[in-house]
Structure 1
């Protein structure tokens, strides 16, 4: 029997959105949940209203590809808003309440000089001004005995004085509160009760780990940022809901995972959840990029990576051994240590918008000052007149003026050349050589950053793949690879929006810590299990508040910070998932880690367990781009500068580079999100999902 009914159209798949808010551009990736469609877009960032740029990017890409807001099942974004707030010290004026006798806690720090051979180096400036520090009569000893009860009246008086003087948020840090938090918890409760709506950050409530200075810094950072972050997230949520997005909203964390925006907003303004979110999202954007790079490289069968995220302001790099994202508990944000777990990223101020200049000795420098999005590089034609790294790319021909940013930005080569005239005159050379020198200086800066990192990790760069991304990364990548001695590069399918893709595909992740401070002779299996069980339960409570409709594959990892008794530095040890958490298992794991790190057998030594940790991860079904086929149109003639000479080259659009086709430099490969420059001696081929596989040819000074 033949049906007379029209065929049922195939159901449209749900979509997911990833966004990265950078200093210059806001990037967005729209992906069908089954991987059948993947779209990208970039819009200029809005420093005054970052949420407005996010909504503009989302609505534009949905409209362009005819996707209804109700079809979106997941939204995640990374941002530099919190980080920039800290670096610019533009958050809330924060007062610090400390145990009497310790008013200089932040100023003394660790008594370490930034540069031990520079006697004129400026000291680190605390985020809480010394005039905004108050001593509170109280003292709990390390064994838990109360030496001096908390003076509640003095506490409230100190808070009133600070608030009357213009302080907008408070941080409370009492001695030994990480193991004996009763005084600090009482102080925080009293302050929140007396001043509803005031941001009050308690150090032990946020991150109960030893090291008073670092714990105090976490509390001050949280208090400084939390109010502005809440305002930003509330604005973003309201705008997205107004435009029809009803799916769960997430934000990427410094540890390479994501968390629920609603989870932070659903609590009171000064709550621990919001304060933790403020600290845990400080490295939101860079962490998402590393996560995205690892995900794509693993799918391509590539391990051992050096990542290079080069945007308009800075270059962020990470070293990935195997396919394991590198984590650190001693990161730094400008002047401030960050002991909460974060993806290990190193940064320098040498992005595409970095200004080229001569110092007092006539030495050519690049950055750290950047022209930002407004007015931007001179070649953007928005009034910029200073020579930048992007202008150098234009002068050298490494960017295609006729096909930059998908035609959204029309480059002005004449303006770029004009910006370089004064610098070239001071250098006593022509514009092309001056521009090429600027590119070389930027390469040298990145090389100087990465070599010590590789050496400290014991990693041979010759065995690694360089993974460049960000709007400017692929332009600079081959030159850097040659300096490092790296032969192979993997340029992701959309390098300019990889941080947005990383936000889209990363797992939920949550880290918790509990102080221990016991040697293995004092520690038994029951106590070990009890502490870890408590952390497990708290991790699962956090997970239940995360709108985790897609992330249903939950796993727990048990960690411990352990050192040989009498030593000063710990190693983080993860227990195998198939082992019961016992002292014997912990000793075995530490002995293996200690031998690998130092080449010494510690099996017979007494161990000191300083803290226990738990990491909860919740993954979803992997999303990977499907195979693409290039159009196969041939390259067009072009000209670039190499070694001070203008030489014939070719240019091609990335969409025209068919999988399996091999092209040789000098070559410019343009795409809407980023441009790749391939110098003479290098070659490139596309794989089945649009990644570009590059052979750098040879390292500088080596035969091909």
Structure 2
């Protein structure tokens, strides 16, 4: 019997990262290949095949694949999803068009709408005769004849590929939505149906409609993509398991994912944070700020006490995405971000990206616009012979495009332009870093910055100086940390229920009954993924607020529900409100809004980084390369090390460059490096740099 392996594959906009772990030897290898948009499955299979060859394994050896996908994300960004038809309560069919009534640019008459109107034009948002009140009581029964008539119009006249049902107050009572789903499934068995009470059973109709709309919008595309991928393996491996990362940081089987694909909308961002949290906790730095800088974007998240922060008030650009997800902020700043001179004569970088195809000019794939990666090559930070992805790098093309597009319009020299590109992209990332730290009441000086992704370790030194961060940690495989994070994610399912009751009227028996129903839903999903009830760890949460408030705070509550659990929840709410907003009112009446049950099965591997028993006995081999760190210094010869030669106990003082197959780390002048027992690079900044 051949040794079984597990594979983590994370697809980004520019590169696809692969992590292969041999279960018998507990060894692993990593690999990186260019992504292949828009046909991402091609890059998936190409990267997997290459990596298996490196590992001397075959597809038959795979026992489990964990996949982080950006398919749903890209479908929404490019507005290339399915043609959906909305079925809404009669008299409320303009919810999508009205939205919040929000105009972020008050005096811009040509402002683009901040509502996702691409989901469906007004003619595909139809009202159905039915009505519930806010407590879920039926006011007007569902008119099935009217429903059938509206559904027929959407299919025959509009050619709709997905039905999305979002009735008023269905979060309080889903009876009409469930009946509608049954009727539609019987009439049109080949057309998927999304109902809002299953996707997001919470108050606020616009948010619920948008999230449900996104679910229907990506459902056919995600379902076809995942089922086709899975079929490549199930016919060749008997006990094969295919899991997909979700936005909340857990993984699930394909059947469950296809029932609610909107849960994968930000799955590509979650895996990196999971990996960073694990590495930081194991290394003794549980409070971290993760910085995942890839080719297209940079994702920043705050990690507290070894755990990623979860939010239920997320967004996708200007669009609300109010499902539980890891709190990640994204900015269009990556290695392929395009630098340009705007109409006012200012140098700008991003958010437009050259992506993987054509990519930066130096890729020799037809790109002619200067990017951050082009600037890195011009400054000497990157080595064309060791650059990830096996690309044919031409630095002359980098110099030409920066000269033509930046130097000539601004009348500056090549080095000044390249340094300017780096300075601007670092400043942009620093602003995002402040969003997850300072603007949420956290002092970045108390956190360790953990840069990863293909470009993160190049920019982290300057970024730490700008943000007054004292310490950085570069993990052993920073370029593919997201793929590693996939391996460490739990199998996870959750369910929620609206419960709008004031504190004084709360009955622990009612809460207990609701959680029992939610647990049954989660256990059924877990069973589908091959997890037994004994393997499950439960977590309960409640969204609460002061009476009269418009927004809630989610807090954990005990899984043993009684009156003391309710008192505990109220006490913790006051404490959390004080922590978040520097204010609370112990005498004010509180109220419950939503209850949520989370079921998890933790992975077999608690960590994939292990202590090394070897120490640095001899000075590692070093080469030298001319690098420009500042205009004043110009190009200076600095040492270049191979990451594999650096063992625990090794120390140096920057500047220096450390190269490895998946990324390059730039140690800025005066920064102190030490390799710890896990082979992490621990970089501390001198006081005068903060």
Query: What band does the TM-score fall into relative to the shorter chain?
Result: over 0.9
2:258 is matched with: 274
C-alpha separation in 2, matches of 1:650 and 1:119: 55
Residues 442-482 of structure 1 deviation map (CA, whole Å, 9 limit, x = unaligned): 01111122223322221111111111111111111111111
**Contact 1:72/1:245 (CA < 8 Å) preserved in 2?**
no
1:641 is matched with which residue: 581, 604, 628?
628
Aligned residues of 1:254 and 1:282 also touching (Cα < 8 A): yes
Equivalent position to 1:585, from 546, 554, 568: 568
The 3-state SS of whatever aligns with 1:647 is: strand
- The equivalent of 1:41 in structure 2 is 31
Change (3 A) 1:312 1:608: same
**3-state DSSP of counterpart to 2:356:** coil
What is the CA deviation profile of residues 285-327 of structure 1, one whole-angstrom value per residue up to 9, with x for unaligned ones?
1001100100111111112111111111101100112212111
Contact 2:207 2:321 in 1 (8 A): yes
Q: Give, in whole Å, the separation in 2 of the partners of 1:12 and 1:484.
A: 50
CA distance 1:493–1:580, change in 2 (3 Å): farther
Distance 2:218 2:100 in 1: 23
Residue deviations 1:118-153, cap 9 Å, x none? 675422142222232112122122233433222222
Distance 2:566 2:211 in 1: 30
Shift of 1:635: 1.4
Contact 1:380 1:409 in 2 (8 A): yes
Contact 1:341 1:511 in 2 (8 A): no
| Deviation per residue, 1:52-73 (Å, 9 max, x gap) | 3222222322222223444433
1:528 aligns with 2:511: yes
Partner of 1:176: 169
What residue in structure 2 maps to residue 58 of structure 1?
Answer: 48
The answer on whether the counterparts of 1:78 and 1:252 sit within 8 Å (CA) in structure 2 is yes
Distance in 1, Cα, partners of 2:107 & 2:22: 55
Alpha-carbon distance change, 338 to 209 in structure 1, aligned in 2, over 3 angstroms: same
Alpha-carbon distance in structure 2 between the residues aligned to 1:546 and 1:641: 53
Alignment of 1:432-443 (within 5 A): 432-443=415-426
Answer yes or no: is 1:84 the counterpart of 2:74.
Answer: yes
**Which stretch shifts more, 48-57 or 292-301?**
48-57
Deviates more, 1:349-358 or 1:657-666: 657-666
- Pairs within 5 Å for 1:564-603: 564-576=546-558, 580=562, 582-600=565-583, 602-603=585-586
Q: Equivalents in 1 of 2:354, 2:223: separation in Å? A: 28
- 1:16 aligns to 2:6 (yes or no): yes
Q: Write the distance in 1 (CA, Å) between the matches of 2:112 and 2:649.
A: 54
Match of 1:365 in 2: 348
- 8 Å contact kept, 2:465–2:689: no
Specify the SS of the correspondent of 1:405.
coil
Does the Cα contact within 8 Å between 2:33 and 2:388 map onto a contact in 1?
A: no
**How far apart are the structure 1 equivalents of 2:364 and 2:509?**
68
* CA deviation map 1:214-264 (0-9, x unaligned): 111121111100100011001110123355474211000000010012x33
Cα distance, 1:598 vs structure 2: 4.0
Confirm or deny that 1:208 pairs with 2:195: no
Q: What SS class does the counterpart of residue 504 from structure 2 fall into?
A: coil
Number of residues of Structure 1 aligned to a counterpart in Structure 2: 679
Give, in whole Å, the separation in 1 of the partners of 2:482 and 2:684. Answer: 24
The residue that corresponds to 1:142 in the other structure is 134
Q: 1:76-111: CA deviations, max 9, x gaps?
A: 110111111111110101111111111220122222
Moved more, 337-346 or 130-139: 130-139
Q: Distance in 1 between matches of 2:664 and 2:293?
A: 12
Query: How far is the alpha carbon of 1:548 from its aligned partner?
Result: 3.9
Query: For the structure 1 residues 35 and 345, does the alpha-carbon distance in structure 2 shift closer, same or farther, using more than 3 Å as the test?
Result: farther
Deviation at residue 606 of structure 1 after TM alignment: 2.4
Aligned partner of 1:321 in structure 2 is 304
Give the whole-Å Cα distance in 1 for the aligned partners of 2:334 and 2:589.
Answer: 48
Aligned residue in 1 for 2:609: 625
RMSD: 2.2
Gaps of 5+ in 2: none
Aligned-partner Cα distance in 2 for 1:27–1:63: 15
Shift of 1:688: 2.7
Aligned to 1:521, the other structure's residue is in SS state helix
Corresponding residue to 1:28 among 18, 23, 33: 18
- Residue number in structure 2 paired with 1:229: 222
| Alignment equivalent of 1:162, drawn from 154, 157, 161 | 154
Q: 1:469 maps to what in 2?
A: 452
What residue number does 1:665 align with? Answer: 654
Distance (whole Å) between structure 2 residues aligned to residue 468 and residue 210 of structure 1? 38
Give the TM-score, by structure 1 length: 0.92
Partner SS for 1:340: coil
SS in 2 for 1:42: strand
Q: Write the deviation string for residues 626-677 of structure 1: whole angstroms up to 9, x where unpaired.
A: 3455795321111111222112212121112222111232222111111111
CA distance in structure 2 between the partners assigned to 1:695 and 1:523 by the alignment: 51
- Contact in 1 for aligned 2:90/2:130 (Cα 8 Å): yes
Greater shift after overlay, 570-579 or 328-337?
570-579
Contact 1:87 1:334 in 2 (8 A): no
Q: Secondary structure at the match of 1:516?
A: strand
Tell whether the 8 Å contact from 2:137 to 2:173 is kept in structure 1 after alignment: no
Q: Distance in 1 between matches of 2:107 and 2:247?
A: 32
Q: Does 1:413 align with 2:403?
A: no
Matched, 1:298 2:288: no
1:383 aligns with 2:355: no
1:112 aligns to what? 102
Query: Counterparts in 2 of 1:665-684, with a 5 A limit?
Result: 665-684=654-673
Whole-angstrom CA distance in 1 between matches of 2:561 and 2:126:
48
Q: Call closer, same or farther: CA 1:536–1:146 in 2, change over 3 Å.
A: closer
Query: Is the contact between residue 95 and residue 206 of structure 2 (CA under 8 Å) also seen in structure 1?
Result: yes
TM-superposed CA distance for 1:191, in Å, is: 1.3
Structure 1 residue runs without a partner (length 5+): 1-10, 265-272
CA 1:192–1:428 in structure 2 vs 1: closer, same or farther (change >3 Å)? same
Q: CA deviation at 1:507?
A: 0.8
Instruction: Give a deviation string over 1:328-385, Cα, whole Å, max 9, x none.
Output: 1111112321111000000111111011001110111111111111111111122221
Do 1:304 and 1:322's aligned partners in 2 also have CA atoms closer than 8 Å? yes
Deviates more, 1:673-682 or 1:59-68: 59-68
Q: Secondary structure at the match of 2:575?
A: helix
Of 687-696 and 241-250, the range deviating more from structure 2: 241-250
Question: 1:52, 1:242 → 2: CA distance?
Answer: 19
Alignment of 1:283-294 (within 5 A): 283-294=266-277
Match of 1:252 in 2: 245
Cα deviation, residue 703, structure 1 = 5.3
Residues in 1 aligned to 2:434 and 2:492: alpha-carbon distance in whole angstroms: 30
Given the superposition, is the C-alpha separation of residues 334 and 591 from structure 1 closer, same or farther in structure 2, using an over 3 Å criterion? closer
Equivalent in the alignment of 1:239: 232
Distance 1:511-1:488 versus aligned 2 partners, 3 A rule:
same
